[in-house]
């Protein structure tokens, strides 16, 4: 086995894991699989690309690479603003779509279909604005550094891994150590009782959209930095995201990231051993195998 | 007479607008009172208190808490105005620890007041204090009720509303829960209680009201209710006839 599979798998897995955190949080609080979550990844990347270009045009030198990375501080600033814009987009979609169905207490399949519709509309809008031609944050070429054991990675890839670790620790601490996290865990267990405890459930729902969208944006920027930016980039990640969220156990942040890494590694192994066309199939075979042994996922609660 | 803590006028509530379960209830609860609501199954007892707490939709009439209208407000807004409601089941978060349940309940307080409020509850319920790090899901039925009452009292509400706190408990635990409620009432807390366990409840409350078919049919002191000759047959349904008359 080529040991490079491990690095490739971890990098793909970290992007999947970050996206899956938002998906799993929305599922555990709002009780529906949000198929429009992939579009938050794509919109986040496009927001960051546009803002990065704007910042570069207004402030000279903002786009100059910070060695050893391929990007400048303009992209860092653009990503932070893009996370806010993606959160606003998620809140807007909730306000004009999901909140209406929640108030009507619509059955889950209607909300799922609405999320499909939102996904298509958001993706079409991206194509309309940016066309389907791929975009890039930078045209800089990077040389992969040897890491030992036959593995190599570019500085950008190591940055993506480090940023994922930081974001996961941040979200984990937020959920386990802060009043906001306690309120989120409470709403996840019992929304009706949460209100009786004084929790503003609508505020918790807004927090979940903001958090999920901001993380999706980060995943989109990483994907754009390491691969390319396309309107379908989020949609293509959607099934691995679901696989990671289910594999890790719905509602579990550590589960989503571990699930993401397993799916990423599974895909990388599939590419090496059985061919790239079997990538998704192998990831799902792992998913099914684990769920047969542990139906609640790796870190999920027993019903 | 003291000012009413809860007052309803022609209060209508339920799950479907065309099929209200509570059908125009006029009810008053004075400050410091300890009152129980009785009635046969399906009378609308639980729906009435759930609607007061904002859990069930209100379709008509008026409800006031300390003179302020609360009809149609969300549960967290009603709690903020001073009514703490303890549901019959699923009244604590089983995946949080005892301490986390109390921390969550204390969140509406300013940060500096949260610690003392939690300590006050742990002093009041030493059994909970001894195991505050334990997951609430691992507690016994009686301990869960105590935690539910503790979290409700934490914000020092002007009224504590409980929906069948004795449901599913052994006679010993029912006795423990009721004596705790009597002690809480003795400190001046206003309590409204929905109960099926009529005999035990009449021993601790001051007044009882009886609902039948979503309407208030009887309102009397606990003493008068206990000695009412036809109470069981008329108001408590066949299941409780012998108990109510006892």
pLDDT score recorded for residue B231 = 67
Q: Where are the domains of chain B?
A: 4-88+158-245
Each residue's pLDDT expressed in tens, for chain A with a length of 303 residues: 788 899 999 999 999 999 999 999 999 999 999 999 999 999 999 999 999 999 999 988 877 888 888 899 999 999 999 999 999 999 999 999 999 999 888 999 999 999 999 999 999 999 999 999 999 998 878 888 888 888 999 999 999 999 999 999 999 999 999 999 999 999 999 999 999 999 999 999 999 999 999 999 999 999 999 999 999 999 999 989 998 999 999 888 889 999 999 999 998 988 888 888 888 787 778 778 888 888 888 887 654
- Over the stretch A79-90, which tens digit does the pLDDT of each residue have? 999 999 999 999
- Over the stretch B63-89, which tens digit does the pLDDT of each residue have? 999 999 998 899 999 999 999 999 998
| Omega cis (within 30) before A97 | no
Residue given tokens 């209680």 in the structure block? B193
- Over the stretch B161-191, which tens digit does the pLDDT of each residue have? 999 998 888 888 888 889 989 999 999 999 9
Give yes or no for A198 touching B (CB within 8 A).
yes
**pLDDT surpassing 60 at residue B235:** no
Contact A182 B79 (CB under 8 A): no
Compute the mean pLDDT over every residue in chain B, rounded to the nearest whole number.
89
Give yes or no for A204 touching B (CB within 8 A).
no
CA distances (Å), A26 to each of A141, A196, A252, in order? 37, 21, 11
Structure confidence at residue B241 as a pLDDT band (50, 70, 90) = very low
Chain A residues lying within 8 Å of B91, measured CB to CB? 193, 196
Chain B residues lying within 8 Å of A198, measured CB to CB? 76, 79-80, 104-105, 107-108, 155
Percent of chain B past pLDDT 90, that is, above it, reads 71
Name the more confident of A285 and B127.
Answer: B127
How many residues comprise chain A? 303
Q: If you count DSSP H runs as helices and E runs as strands, how many of each does chain A have, helices first?
A: 12, 2
Q: Which two tokens stand for residue A141?
A: 């070429």
Q: Where are the domains of chain A?
A: 35-237
Q: Which two tokens stand for residue A139?
A: 């045209």
Q: What's the complex ipTM?
A: 0.82
**pLDDT surpassing 80 at residue B234:** no
**pLDDT surpassing 50 at residue B244:** no
CA distances (Å), B1 to each of A72, A146, B20, B34, B219, in order? 74, 85, 32, 15, 17
Give residues with Cβ within 8 angstroms of A75, minimum separation 6: A48, A52, A63, A137, A138, A221, A225
Chain B residues lying within 8 Å of A180, measured CB to CB? none
pLDDT score recorded for residue B242 = 45
Structure confidence at residue B233 as a pLDDT band (50, 70, 90) = low
- Rounded CA gap, A248 and B4, in Å? 52
Closest listed residue to residue A195, CA positions, set B191, B48, B1, B84: B84
Contact B107 A192 (CB under 8 A): no
- Rounded CA gap, A14 and A24, in Å? 15
- Over the stretch B198-227, which tens digit does the pLDDT of each residue have? 888 999 999 999 999 999 988 999 998 888
Q: Which two tokens stand for residue B61?
A: 């009439």
Name the more confident of B57 and A3.
Answer: B57
pLDDT score recorded for residue B237 = 54
- Rounded CA gap, A286 and B240, in Å? 57
pLDDT score recorded for residue B176 = 86
Q: Does the B4-88+158-245 domain belong in CATH 2.60.40.10? A: no
Q: How far apart are the first and last CA of chain B?
A: 31
pLDDT score recorded for residue B232 = 65
Chain B residues lying within 8 Å of A299, measured CB to CB? none
- Rounded CA gap, A162 and A166, in Å? 6
Contact B55 A179 (CB under 8 A): no
């Amino acid at each position: 086995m080529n040991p490079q599979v491990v690095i490739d798998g971890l990098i793909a897995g970290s992007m999947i894991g970050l996206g899956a955190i938002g998906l799993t949080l929305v599922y555990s609080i709002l009780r529906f699989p949000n198929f429009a979550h992939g579009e938050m990844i794509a919109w986040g990347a496009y927001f960051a690309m546009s803002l990065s270009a704007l910042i570069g045009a207004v402030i000279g030198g903002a786009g100059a690479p910070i060695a050893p990375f391929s990007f400048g501080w303009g992209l860092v600033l653009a990503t932070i603003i893009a996370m806010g814009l993606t959160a606003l987009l998620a809140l807007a979609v909730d306000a004009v779509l999901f909140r209406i169905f929640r108030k009507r207490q619509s059955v889950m399949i209607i909300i799922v279909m609405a999320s499909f519709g939102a996904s298509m509309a958001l993706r079409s809008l991206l194509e309309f604005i940016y066309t389907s031609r791929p975009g890039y944050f930078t045209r800089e070429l990077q040389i992969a550094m040897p890491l030992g054991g036959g593995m190599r990675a570019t500085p950008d890839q190591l940055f993506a891994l480090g940023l994922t670790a930081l974001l996961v620790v941040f979200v984990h601490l937020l959920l386990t150590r802060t009043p906001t996290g306690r309120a989120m865990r409470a709403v996840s267990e019992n929304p009706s009782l949460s209100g009786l405890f004084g929790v503003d459930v609508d505020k918790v729902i807004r927090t979940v959209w903001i958090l999920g969208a901001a993380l999706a944006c980060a995943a989109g920027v990483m994907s754009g930095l390491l691969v390319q930016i396309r309107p379908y980039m989020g949609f293509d990640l959607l099934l691995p995201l679901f696989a990671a969220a289910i594999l890790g156990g719905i509602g579990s942040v550590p589960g989503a990231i571990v699930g993401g890494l397993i799916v990423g590694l599974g895909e990388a192994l599939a590419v090496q051993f059985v061919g790239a066309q079997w990538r998704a199939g192998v990831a799902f075979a792992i998913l099914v195998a684990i769920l047969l042994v542990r139906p609640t996922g790796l870190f999920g609660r027993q019903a | 007479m003291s000012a009413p803590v809860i007052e309803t006028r022609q209060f209508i509530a339920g799950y479907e607008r065309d099929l209200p379960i509570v059908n125009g209830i006029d009810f008053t609860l004075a400050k410091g009172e300890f009152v129980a609501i009785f009635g046969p199954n399906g009378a609308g007892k639980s729906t009435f208190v759930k609607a007061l707490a904002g859990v069930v939709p209100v379709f008509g009439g008026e409800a006031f808490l300390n003179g302020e209208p609360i009809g149609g407000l969300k549960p967290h807004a009603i709690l903020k105005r001073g009514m703490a409601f303890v549901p019959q089941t699923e009244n604590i978060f089983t995946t949080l620890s005892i301490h986390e349940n109390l921390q969550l309940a204390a969140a509406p307080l300013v940060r500096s007041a949260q610690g003392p409020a939690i300590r006050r509850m742990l002093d009041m319920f030493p059994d909970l204090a001894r195991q505050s790090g334990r997951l609430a899901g691992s507690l016994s039925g009686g301990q869960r009720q105590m935690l539910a009452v503790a979290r409700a009292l934490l914000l020092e509400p002007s009224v504590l509303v409980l929906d069948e706190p004795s449901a599913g408990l052994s006679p010993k635990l029912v006795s423990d829960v009721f004596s705790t409620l009597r002690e809480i009432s003795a400190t001046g807390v206003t309590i409204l209680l929905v109960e099926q366990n009529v005999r035990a409840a009449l021993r601790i409350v001051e007044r009882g009201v009886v609902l039948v078919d979503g309407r208030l049919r009887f309102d009397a002191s606990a003493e008068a209710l206990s000695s009412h000759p036809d109470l069981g047959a008329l108001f408590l349904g066949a299941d409780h006839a012998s108990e109510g008359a006892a």
